[in-house]
Amino acid sequence: MKVSILGAAAVLASVASGHTIFCQLKTSEKTYPVSHAIRTPTYDGPQTDVNNNNLACNGPPNPTTPSDKIINVKAGETVSAIWRHTLQSGANDVMDPGHKGPVMAYLKKVSDATKDSGVGGGWFKIQEEGYSNGKWGTDNVINSGGNQQIKIPECIEDGQYLLRAEMIALHGARSVNGAQLYMECAQINITGGKATKKPATASIPGIYKSNDPGLLIDIYNKPPGISSPYKIPGTYRNLSGV
């Protein structure tokens, strides 16, 4: 009991400085500059209302800047979504380590990645990492210098997509809308896809409910993995295999 209260207090004290932004994409070709083909905000704050349209690609109270760039990505390759505390931060300043929770990535096929708002249907989750062996997905991203590895499925159709990378911090998630959701959308053009599968899709907002067990959770007093496994919010679509 005592330990968990101290832990929570330490986290609260460090929250203001600790948010994060998916600000850069690395492909097998190169690491693109900060904000290249990604709609980045200047303020690194979270979204907290899972029913808000800004859950798709961020937005007020963290207004994002559009980009007219599109990054070419090969189906089947692994890209890195690079996370930083601010647009100026280095690899040793990814996010406050008190921010613990799942990491995931979604795709949505669009006709014009530079213009599509992302709001609405068409999204499918292609990567997720929750809690295992005492580590959260966020711990692993921080420890790898901000790199979230995302394998682009081989089986999907070619074309323009929004790639939405997300990290969720659960330190305040014991009350409704206390989870902090961080996300940005990258604009990509996928080539070399086999077009053998059409994944089931979902809407954003709509992928999460505020009382999902993975979003309304006291990770300090009921640590996942001890009383029950952690349930990552949103449905993962396993598209491996052809």
Ligand X SMILES: *[C@@H]1O[C@H](CO)[C@@H](O)[C@H](O)[C@H]1NC(C)=O
Q: What residues have CB less than 8 Å from 123, skipping those under 6 apart?
A: 106, 107, 108, 164, 201, 202, 203, 204, 207
Looking at the DSSP bridge assignments, the partners of residue 154 are none
- Assess 70 for contact with ligand X (CB under 6 A): yes
Report the 10 Å Cβ neighbour count for 138.
28
Which stretch, 15-23, 32-40, 105-113, 116-124, contacts Cu ion (CB under 5 A)? Answer: 15-23
Residue 84's binding partner, choosing from Cu ion, ligand X, none, with beta-carbon cut-off 5 to 8 A by kind?
none
Q: How far apart are CA 39 and CA 42, in angstroms?
A: 10
Q: x-or-dash pattern for ligand X, window 133-162, by CB under 6 A?
A: ---------------------------x--
Q: How many CA atoms lie less than 13 Å away from 202 in the CB half-sphere?
A: 16
Minimum distance from residue 110 beta carbon to ligand X (Å) = 11
Which CB atom, from 3 or from 16, has the smaller least distance to Cu ion? 16
**Binding-site residue total for Cu ion (CB under 5 A)?**
2
Q: How far apart are CA 216 and CA 176, in angstroms?
A: 6
Which stretch, 19-27, 61-69, 110-118, 211-219, contacts Cu ion (CB under 5 A)? Answer: 19-27
Which stretch, 13-21, 70-78, 145-153, 193-201, contacts Cu ion (CB under 5 A)? Answer: 13-21
- Assess 221 for contact with ligand X (CB under 6 A): no
Does residue 236 contact residue 150 with C-beta atoms inside 8 Å?
A: no
- Assess 19 for contact with Cu ion (CB under 5 A): yes
Phi-psi sector, 25: left (phi>0), alpha (psi -120 to 50), beta: beta
List interacting residues with ligand X (CB under 6 A).
70, 72, 160, 189, 191, 238, 240-241
